[in-house]
């Protein structure tokens, strides 16, 4: 009687480490994408322009200042006062001169709030300052005739 040799039978490959790695990558990319969107306020409506421009993105080297419709300022998701913002901008101008500053103002806010932050930025030595806006093409109007 012949005894079967179990060494000739191949076991199917173990896919568990591959599945674990795919789930870990999925979690990493979800967390990374949510962190890159942290600066974008959901209730902030940016003004529109008819000129096409390069899309604004929150690059890691940008310091983003959000101005809400009531003039309140937010940096990194927390509300700040003008004195705190001035300290931050002076620190950036002194220690990180290559860092860009992006001002995103709600289209419903008064221009004086934006102008105040822009003046504060230039007074602290930040130059140039980027301005956040959305580009759109106006619809063609048909004149009845």
Encode pLDDT of 9-57 as tens digits: 777 888 999 999 999 999 988 887 766 556 665 567 777 776 665 655 5
Q: Which residue has the tokens 């969107």?
A: 37
Check whether the bond before 111 is cis (ω within 30° of 0). Answer: no
What is the model's pLDDT at position 51? 65
What is the model's pLDDT at position 13? 86
What is the model's pLDDT at position 18? 92
**pTM higher than 0.85:** no
Higher pLDDT, 141 or 109: 109
Q: Which residue has the tokens 């102008």?
A: 115
Higher pLDDT, 24 or 142: 24
Beta pairing, strands 134-135 & 100-105 = unpaired
Burial code (b: 16+ CB inside 10 Å, e: under 16) for 107-122 equals eebeeebbebbbebbe
What is the model's pLDDT at position 97? 81
Domains (range + CATH), the chain: 48-135 (3.30.420.270)
- Per-residue pLDDT of 64-111, as tens digits, reads 888 988 888 898 888 899 899 899 889 888 888 888 888 888 888 888
Give me the half-sphere count of Cα atoms (radius 13 Å) on the Cβ side of residue 55: 3
Q: Which residues 6+ apart lie within 8 Å of 75 measured at CB? A: 63, 64, 65, 66, 85, 88
């Amino acid at each position: 009687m012949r005894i079967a040799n179990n060494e000739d039978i191949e076991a199917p490959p173990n896919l568990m480490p591959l599945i674990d790695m795919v789930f870990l990558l999925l979690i990493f990319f979800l967390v990374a994408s949510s962190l890159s969107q942290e600066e974008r306020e959901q209730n902030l409506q940016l003004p529109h322009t008819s000129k096409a421009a390069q899309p604004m993105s929150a690059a890691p080297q940008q310091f983003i200042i959000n101005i809400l419709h009531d003039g309140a300022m937010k940096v990194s998701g927390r509300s700040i006062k003008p004195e705190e913002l001035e300290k931050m901008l002076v620190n950036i101008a002194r220690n990180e001169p290559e860092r860009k500053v992006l001002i995103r103002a709600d289209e419903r806010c008064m221009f004086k709030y934006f102008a105040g932050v822009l003046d504060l930025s230039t007074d602290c030595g930040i130059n140039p300052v980027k301005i956040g806006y959305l580009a759109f093409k106006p619809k063609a109007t048909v004149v009845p005739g």
